[in-house]
Each structure stands twice: as C-alpha cells, then as structure tokens.
Amino acid sequence: MGKVNLQMYSFMDGTMNDSRENFRRAAEMGYDGVELFGPDFEIPAEELKALLEELKLEPVSLHAPKTEMVEGLIPFANALGMQFIGIGMEVLKDEESVHSFAKTLNRIGKACAEKGLMLTYHNHTQEFADCGRIGSVPGAAGAAEEQQAAGKPCGDVQPENRHAAGEACVSVQPENRHAAGEACVSVQPENRHAAETALDSSRRTDRVIDVLMRETEPEYVSFELDAGWCAAAGFDPIAFVEQYSGRVKLIHIKESSRVVGPQPPMDFSTLPRDENGAPIFSDELKKTMEELDRINCRAGEGLVDWKALKEAADQNGCQAYIVEREYSVSGNRLNDLKADLEYYRTQI
C-alpha cells in the first residue's frame, strides 16, 4: 500500500478556513502527507514543522501562490524539509508566453536546485492545447460583448484552478475545440460523455506541455501531472507518464467524469475586484463554474484507471501521489475526502 497525500486546497469549501485545524483533519482521516498552498504559509515555518511532526504528516510539496513568489518560499520549504516546490498554474496566453515561461522555469528551477529543491509545474487542461492555438479569454463583465465585437462566439466557462489569486478559469471557445486534432466535448448536459469516454493515448509534440518539456532542463524542472485535468483534456495520463519517463515526479489524484477538451486560460486579473481584493464573478459565470466543478466526481467514477496509472508512474519515476478535491459530491467535503482516501488506498 502506497502513501496517499492531500493537497490542502481540498479543504477550501468556504467553511474550513483554519489551516492548523485542517492539518489536524487531514491527519485524523489518515492521510500520510500534505501539499501546502496559500493560507498555509501564514503559519511560521518552525511552528508548522512542529505541528506536522506532531501529526505525523509529511510535508511533500507546496504550490506558490504566484510564479514570482517561488524563490521567496525556498527558505520556508527548506525549513520544512521538503523535496519539491511547485507552481500551481501560469496564465499562458499565446505561444510566445509558453516559450518565455519555459525560460522562467529554468531560471527559477536552477535557484531551487541550488538550495536542494526540485521545482515542479502543475498542469490544467490548457497545457494540452496545441501551442500555436492557445489564447486568452476575456473574463471581466461584458466579456460576451467583447468576444462578439471581435467576431468570436462566446463560450461556456469552466474553472481550471482557484488555488491562488492570479490563477485561472477557462472558456470553451469553438475555435479552440479541435486543437491538435482532438475532439472537445460540449459542456451542455445533453452532450456529456460518460466515464467510459475514450482518451487519446497518442504521443504529441506540439502541445503546450510538450514545448515546456522540451525547453526545460530535467535537472532543474519536473512536472506534477494532474491526472484528472489531463483526462478532462482528452488525453491518457498513463501514456503521458510513459512518454515523459522521469519528468513526472508528482501526480495529483483527481477524478474527472468527462472530456471537455484542452482550453485556454482566463487571467483573473481582468476581473473586477471587491473591497477585499477578491475577483467578482457575474451570476451567470458563477453558475457555469459551479456546474462544471461537478466534473470532479466521486472517487472511482472518473476516467482514469488508477491502478494502471500507479504502476506506470512508479516505473517511470513518480515519487508521490496527492489527492485534490475541488467539488463536494456529497455536500460534505470531509466525508468526500474520507471516501477518497478509502478508495485510493485500494488503488495506489
């Protein structure tokens, strides 16, 4: 039986806002380790180290709130004895930004390596789009009018990541639904695919993720494969870890019930903000985002064969498996996280 770790973002349902208590919850449920995110960094490193040791939770990794904050978190990660330090998402608006980001990863990765850390980058669906077709999506009020004025159909919006300020959700635009030749499924209820949706296992060389793999140095940069988003993009995570043997060091265990296709990001900085600095979403946008959150289905009911993925990942250099839950299927996030752990104990 392998270790099952937990991304602490999984507690973010709006009711569990005490990081210290959430670590205790993770330990009581039986998780072996944790991956940290934003609010966790408010706890002084020495205090957090003592707490994790008390709870027998291994600090596996962390997600920096923004790319430019990674280097500032190196001392924090070192104090906790981590091996990995990660970036949860970068808004990649066009092909030029992809190549530029690869250079940034190499620079930051070298700085991390000098302090004994391996930098990881965590994917969403955007990284499986054709690199030459990836584009940004307007997100502020009036986006539909902006798109129509530009001659572009307005699409449905799907959340990609809400780990930290500046990260992204997406819009399914017709011009992006067949990037790299893969079919993208409509998000409308009548067109949803069941869990047996076929995933593309062919090897690609022109996706965003392929470019990042080619243009980053293995000694400085590794990847954290979010298997759920990979499957939601329409690609087989097993084939991916085999294709990039040795580059995938961490895997996010997340269920996705259907394929929505690789989609471009929306920069949260384009959204209006409330008095506390939080992004303001229109009622329509919130409704669509909540609907599409439901892709994160019950453990064992998604697209991924976890036993097969675990076997392939072990053989190709993966070192840790981390559960992440973005939606409560039962209405009780703690019950869902307990059920996740019980199921994945049988798989990994």
pLDDT higher than 70, residue 147: no
At 288, the pLDDT band (50, 70, 90 cuts) reads: low
- CA of residue 182 relative to chain centroid, distance: 21
Residue 136 has pLDDT above 60, yes or no: no
End-to-end CA distance of the chain: 6
Cα of 181 vs its chain's centroid, Å: 23
pLDDT given for residue 279 in this prediction? 85
pLDDT at 163 over 90: no
Bridge partner residues of 84 (DSSP): 118
Percent of the chain with pLDDT over 90: 69
Provide the 10 A C-beta neighbour count for residue 164.
18
DSSP string, 24-77: HHHHHHT--EEEE-GGGGGS-HHHHHHHHHHHT-EEEEEEESSGGGTGGGHHHH
Query: Which residues, listed in sequence order, are joined to residue 252 by a DSSP beta bridge?
Result: 226, 322
Q: Place 14 in a pLDDT band, splitting at 50, 70 and 90.
A: confident
pLDDT at 229: 93
User: What pLDDT, on the 0 to 100 scale, is given for residue 142?
Assistant: 35
3-state secondary structure of 263: coil
Q: How far is CA 302 from CA 257, 293, 337, in A?
A: 4, 13, 16
pLDDT tens per residue, range 233-281: 999 999 999 999 999 999 999 999 999 888 767 677 788 999 988 889 8
Q: What is the pLDDT of residue 179?
A: 36
Exposure string over 197-235, b if 16+ CB within 10 A, otherwise e: bebbeeebeebbbbbbbebbeeebbbbbbbbbbbbbbbb
**Alpha helices, H only, the chain:** 19-29, 45-55, 74-80, 95-113, 143-149, 208-215, 227-232, 237-243, 283-293, 306-315, 333-345
Do residues 34 and 58 make contact, with C-beta atoms less than 8 angstroms apart? yes
Is 76's pLDDT higher than 70? yes
User: Lowest mean pLDDT: which of 10-19, 50-59, 274-283?
Assistant: 274-283
Q: Give the list of residues 6+ apart from residue 50 with CB closer than 8 angstroms, or none.
A: none
For 21, residues 6+ apart whose C-beta sits below 8 A from its C-beta are: none
Q: Which residues pair with 5 in a beta bridge?
A: 33, 322
CA distance 146 to 139: 10
pLDDT score recorded for residue 192 = 34
